[in-house]
Amino acid sequence: MAAQPLREWKTGLFDCFEDASTCCYGFWCCPCLACTVSGRFGENSCLPLCDLCSPAVFGLCGIPLFVPPASVSLRSSIRSRHGIKGSICKDIAISCFCLTCSWCQMHREIKDNNKDRTVIINNQPAPVMMMAQPTMMMAQPPMVVNQHGVTVTSY
């Protein structure tokens, strides 16, 4: 199987008007947006809180820490999973100097990638062992539900 070519982010770092609700959310409560992004990506929702606590803890120990570790690692993971161009150096620079815009861009990317997912659910009942007369079970027809951009197919 041939590797997919790397692509650009679906929205730019400063494309706030692509999804104004995300940027408003990020502007008013960046930690809440960061926790939402982390949870939607499949990581622990509290992971971005390390970005708030790490500099204080390391500072008390006399170690200066300017790079937000959760933001950099999550941004790098999103790039890797979705085949997005970039480098760890760019991730560090963006996370250090444009943290809120970085979280907004990651949120837009995850939100856009989750729009057209198809979920298949096996809705058939488990076989039942009966001592009395066996009964014939009718197969249920397939059911397709499309809600908020997620297509669910049941067999």
pLDDT digits (tens, 9 = 90+) for 9-19: 988 888 877 77
For residue 16, the tally of other CB atoms under 10 A from its CB is 19
Q: Is pLDDT larger for residue 26 or for residue 82? A: 82
- Contact by Cβ (8 Å): 118, 153: yes
Query: Is 84's pLDDT higher than 60?
Result: yes
d(CA 52, CA 109): 23
The DSSP annotation for 88-104 comes to HHHHHHHHHH-HHHHHH
Domain positions in the chain? 16-113, 118-154
Which residue in this structure is represented by tokens 């760890």?
88
Q: Is pLDDT larger for residue 122 or for residue 111? A: 111
Q: What is the pLDDT of residue 29?
A: 79
- Contact by Cβ (8 Å): 22, 111: yes
Residue 146: strand pairing partners: 151
Token pair in block for residue 138: 């009718």
pTM above 0.75?
no
Summarize the confidence of residues 71-77 as an average pLDDT. 94
Of 28, 29, 74, nearest to 50 by C-alpha is 74
Q: What is the pLDDT of residue 152?
A: 55
**C-alpha dist (Å) from residue 152 to 17, 20, 112, 119, 139:** 31, 29, 18, 5, 18
Summarize the confidence of residues 129-135 as an average pLDDT. 56
127: Cα separation from own chain's centroid: 37
Q: What is the pLDDT of residues 19-59, one digit of tens each?
A: 777 767 666 778 888 899 999 999 988 888 888 777 777 77
Query: Is 130's pLDDT higher than 90?
Result: no
Q: What is the pLDDT of residue 119?
A: 56
Q: What is the pLDDT of residues 50-65, one digit of tens each?
A: 887 777 777 778 777 7
